[in-house]
């Protein structure tokens, strides 16, 4: 039984994001050379919490945890797979979307975190199509509604069966008094470019749209009769596979279980330590640099597999962030520190850059890009402490630039060897874009091209606190006398503010500059869903979510807010 399904008594349980195909209850992966089928076949009784069944391929967070794992494994364990066919294992239903009973009974915090995680996983599917040469095609047979259609929308191409039972729908507004909060509205207009008035009609009807009309409105790419479906799917798979640059015969990298030690207030991984202070409302995450040199070549990197330091660290930090998001909701501040040799970190960045065209190096870089976005989008105050003995360099320096405030130790500190330093790499200037499509340095120095140029001139140098402060790479630098007090005062001040106000402020300030489909999904759509999920029209005793399936109409407060 999945660990994350083992304890279901209350929503205060510990949710585990680790799983593997041998423990899946809801998905199957079937590979055949360059084509894989990712089959959604939800076990109705394998719910994350008590009180509902996952009928009609509806889903909860447990289903999404498996989906995230499957997407990761397809990218890393199956380099030969160039096309992923997203299909249903149920007859006459593709996916009914997020389970309504689950949503009605879930806490507000869980609903919002669930929507965010779901969005991030779908973004990973879209990134696989756009950047990894692993193209997703949704093959929709049967009813495809709400989050089910939003899942299909994450694919690069949608094939809808043209018959009496197959349709696509976004019925959240008329049925539930909420909205398609996992990216549906934005993907319909910005990705599929559905005309606004047609999108308005589509999102206002319960029954959805079928066949050729769905194709005409660009809700799907093509509607195909059952008699031709298999042939068309095979043809499209071959077309998309021909576009891919993924290798035909490379060995994959097994994503072996992440080793960790979980205690009441600590989590220990091989390269990450987490220390939780619930009274203070803080968690300190210390990332450790490599203790060995990069491998000799790409073949040796592949042989190291999941133990290769950049991949191992990314998986561990990803797991830690997800754990803190869902299981430590009272923690308001994440403090990032580092330990290790900056030169060792830079050596691995040099290695990845030198092998940027290798499929595995590319996947590791893209994984770091997704992980850093997950950090950006975490609704916690982010603080970076650059101390002596740290290794915030290159890729790890991105954590400093993701922080709301970054403090750097200035000069020698008692008990420490040497001074604090920060090192820039060419990777900091575009390899890891934010959801806005720009680098974190571009975001930090928005409208200041001279500051970007000045920073780029110092690539490879070990920058001391005074230089970093002058270049604007950190918020402030403090000496040994002032450090403890200044950091303490800042953390005490931060935890005294309203968490709601901070979440809104931080999310706004982190999304500097241009807007993309991805930034709209998180900055606009998710924010509105967050608000709507608290309104009585949706979640009140007489609201639509509570009365769904009862035969009683919701009683709405008619005031526009």
Q: Which of 144-148, 275-279, 306-310, 538-542 has the lowest mean pLDDT?
A: 538-542
**Are 51 and 100 in contact, with CB atoms under 8 Å apart?**
no
The owner of tokens 């890393």 is: 76
Alpha-carbon distance 150 to 162, whole Å? 19
**Are 319 and 360 in contact, with CB atoms under 8 Å apart?**
no
**pLDDT bracket for residue 12 (50, 70, 90):** low
Virtual CA dihedral for 66, 183, 438, 359, nearest 10 degrees?
30
Q: What is the pLDDT of residue 130?
A: 97
Q: What is the pLDDT of residue 181?
A: 80
Q: What's the angle, vertex CA 474, arms to CA 468 and CA 477, rounded to 5?
A: 75
Going by their DSSP bridges, the two strands 135-140 and 83-88 should be labelled as parallel
**Are 385 and 336 in contact, with CB atoms under 8 Å apart?**
yes
* DSSP code of residue 217: T
Give one DSSP letter per residue of 121-135, joined into a string: HHHHHHHIIIIIS-E
Alpha-carbon distance 26 to 340, whole Å? 41
Dihedral sign, CA of 49, 50, 52, 56?
Answer: positive
pLDDT in tens, 455-476: 999 999 999 999 999 999 999 9
Residue 527: pLDDT over 90: no
**pLDDT bracket for residue 2 (50, 70, 90):** very low
Q: What average pLDDT does the chain have? A: 95
Maximum Cα interatomic distance, the chain, rounded to a whole number of Å: 78
Distances, alpha carbon 157 to alpha carbons 111, 160, 214, 223, in Å: 28, 10, 13, 11
pLDDT in tens, 101-130: 999 999 999 999 999 999 999 999 999 999
What structural domains does the chain harbor? 27-243 (3.90.226.10), 262-509 (3.90.226.10)
Mean pLDDT score, 385-398: 98
CA 304 to chain centre: 25
pLDDT in tens, 187-206: 999 999 999 999 999 999 99
- Percentage of the chain modeled with pLDDT above 90: 91
CA 117 to chain centre: 6
Residue 79 has phi, psi (to 5 degrees) of -65, -20
């Amino acid at each position: 039984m999945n660990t994350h399904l083992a304890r279901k008594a209350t929503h205060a349980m510990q949710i585990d994001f680790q799983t593997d195909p041998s423990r899946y209850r809801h998905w199957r992966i079937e590979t055949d050379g360059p084509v894989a089928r990712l089959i959604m076949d939800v076990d109705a009784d394998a719910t994350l919490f008590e009180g509902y069944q996952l009928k009609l391929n509806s889903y909860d967070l447990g289903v999404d945890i498996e989906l995230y794992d499957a997407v990761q494994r397809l990218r890393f364990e199956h380099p030969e797979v160039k096309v992923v066919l997203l299909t249903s294992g149920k007859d006459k239903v593709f996916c009914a979307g997020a389970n309504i009973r689950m949503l009605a009974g879930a806490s507000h915090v869980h609903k919002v975190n669930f929507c965010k995680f779901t969005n991030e996983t779908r973004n990973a599917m879209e990134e696989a199509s756009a950047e990894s040469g692993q193209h997703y095609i949704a093959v929709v047979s049967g009813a495809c509604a709400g989050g089910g259609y939003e899942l299909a929308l994450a694919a690069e191409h949608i094939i809808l069966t043209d018959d009496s039972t197959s349709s696509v729908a976004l019925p959240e507004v008329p049925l539930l008094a909420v909205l398609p909060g996992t990216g549906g509205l934005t993907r319909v207009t910005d990705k599929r470019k559905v005309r606004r008035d047609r999108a308005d009609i589509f999102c206002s009807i319960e029954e959805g749209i079928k066949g050729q009309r769905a194709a005409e409105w660009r809700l799907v790419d093509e509607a195909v009769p059952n008699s031709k479906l298999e042939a068309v799917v095979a043809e499209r798979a071959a077309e998309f596979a021909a576009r891919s640059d993924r290798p035909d015969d490379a060995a994959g990298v097994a994503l072996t279980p992440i080793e960790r030690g979980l205690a009441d207030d600590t989590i220990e991984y091989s390269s990450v330590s987490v220390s939780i202070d619930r009274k203070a409302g803080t968690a300190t995450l210390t990332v450790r640099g490599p203790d060995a040199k990069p491998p000799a070549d790409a073949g040796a990197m592949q042989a190291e597999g999941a133990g290769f330091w950049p991949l191992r660290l990314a998986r561990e930090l990803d797991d830690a962030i997800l754990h803190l998001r869902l299981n430590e909701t009272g923690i308001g501040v994440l403090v990032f520190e580092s330990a290790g040799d900056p030169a060792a970190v830079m050596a691995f960045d040099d290695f990845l850059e030198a092998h940027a065209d290798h499929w595995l190096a590319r996947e590791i870089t893209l994984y770091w890009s997704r992980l850093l976005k997950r950090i950006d989008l975490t609704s916690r105050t982010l603080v970076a402490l650059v101390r002596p003995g740290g290794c915030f360099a290159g890729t790890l320096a991105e954590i400093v630039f993701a922080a709301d405030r970054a403090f750097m130790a200035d000069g020698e500190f008692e008990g420490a060897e040497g001074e604090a330093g920060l090192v820039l790499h060419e990777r900091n200037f575009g390899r890891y874009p934010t959801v806005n499509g720009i680098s974190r340095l571009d975001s930090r120095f928005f409208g200041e091209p001279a500051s970007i140029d000045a920073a780029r001139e110092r690539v490879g140098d070990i920058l001391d606190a005074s230089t970093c402060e002058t270049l604007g790479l950190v918020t402030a630098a403090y000496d040994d006398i002032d450090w403890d007090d200044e950091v303490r005062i800042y953390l005490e001040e931060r935890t005294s503010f309203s968490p709601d106000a901070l979440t809104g402020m931080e999310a706004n300030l982190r999304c500097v500059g241009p807007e993309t489909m991805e930034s709209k999904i998180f900055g606009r759509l998710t924010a509105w869903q967050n608000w709507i999920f608290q309104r009585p029209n949706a979640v009140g005793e007489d609201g639509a979510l509570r009365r769904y399936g009862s035969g009683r109409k919701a009683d709405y407060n008619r005031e526009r807010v």
